[in-house]
Amino acid sequence: MKLKIVSLCAIVLAASLLTGCTEKREESTKSEKVEKRVKSFVLKDTNTTVKATLNDEGISFDVEEPVVLLNFFATWCPPCKAEIPHLVSLQNRYAGKIKVVAVLVEEHVPQRVIKRFKQDHEINYFVSNSAENMKLASVTADMLHQPQNFSIPMMVLFVNGKYFRHYIGMVPEEMLESDIKDALKEAGR
C-alpha cells in the first residue's frame, strides 16, 4: 500500500515539474517572438495619427482618454457595419473618457474610399487605414492567443495601456457599455 502511495506521489511530482518546464519554454518562445516584432505602430486616419506601442500588459496609445476600444473591422463585413451605430453612440456618450480606434484589416483600400465610408456611416471615431494595420492585427492576435486569420469584428478594451477584455464577433451595445463602465472605474474615472 505504501509503495502505491509513494509511486502515485512520484508521478504527480514528475508531472507538475514537466508542466512547469513546458510553460516556461512557451513563455520564452512567445516573448522572443514579440521581441522580433515591431513594438510600435503609427495608425493613420484621414487627418490624424495615433501611435500604438506594445508593452508587457497590453498596448498603450498616445491619446488623452484612459480607455481605448480597439476595433478590427472590414468595410465588406455585415456585422462590422452593424456595430458602427453602437460605436458612434458609445463614442458620443463617453467623449473624453474613451477613444474608439478602428483598424481596417483590408489591404490597399484607397483613402478616398475610407473617407466616403466614414461619411456614409456617420463615423465619429478614429479609423486607421495605415500600412501598419496588418502588423498591429497580427501582434494583437498573438497577444490574445487567436489565429492570424481571426474572426471580425474583434474588439479589445485597454485601460491605461493594460489589456482589460476582448470580444470576437458582434457584441450588444449594452454589454460593451457595461464593460466600459467597469474599465472607467478601474481607470479611476
- Taking only the tens place, the pLDDT of each residue in 25-77 is 233 344 344 444 558 999 999 889 999 999 989 999 999 999 999 999 999 99
Architecture of the domain made up of 40-186: 3-Layer(aba) Sandwich (3.40)
The model carries a pTM of 0.78
CA-nearest of 69, 91, 89, 73 to 81 is 73
CA separation (Å) from 83 to 14, 46, 131, 169?
50, 21, 24, 10
Q: Is 179 helix (H, G, I), strand (E, B) or coil?
A: helix
Tell me the per-residue pLDDT of 76-107, one tens digit each, with 9 for 90 and over: 999 999 999 999 999 999 999 999 999 999 98
Q: Would you list the domain boundaries of the chain?
A: 1-36, 40-186
Task: Place 13 in a pLDDT band, splitting at 50, 70 and 90.
Answer: very low
Distance from C-alpha of 185 to C-alpha of 189, rounded to nearest angstrom: 6
Q: What distance, in Å, lies between the first and last C-alpha atoms of the chain?
A: 61
Pairing of the two strands 98-104 and 126-128: parallel
User: How far apart are the C-alpha atoms of 61 and 48, rounded to whole Å?
Assistant: 13
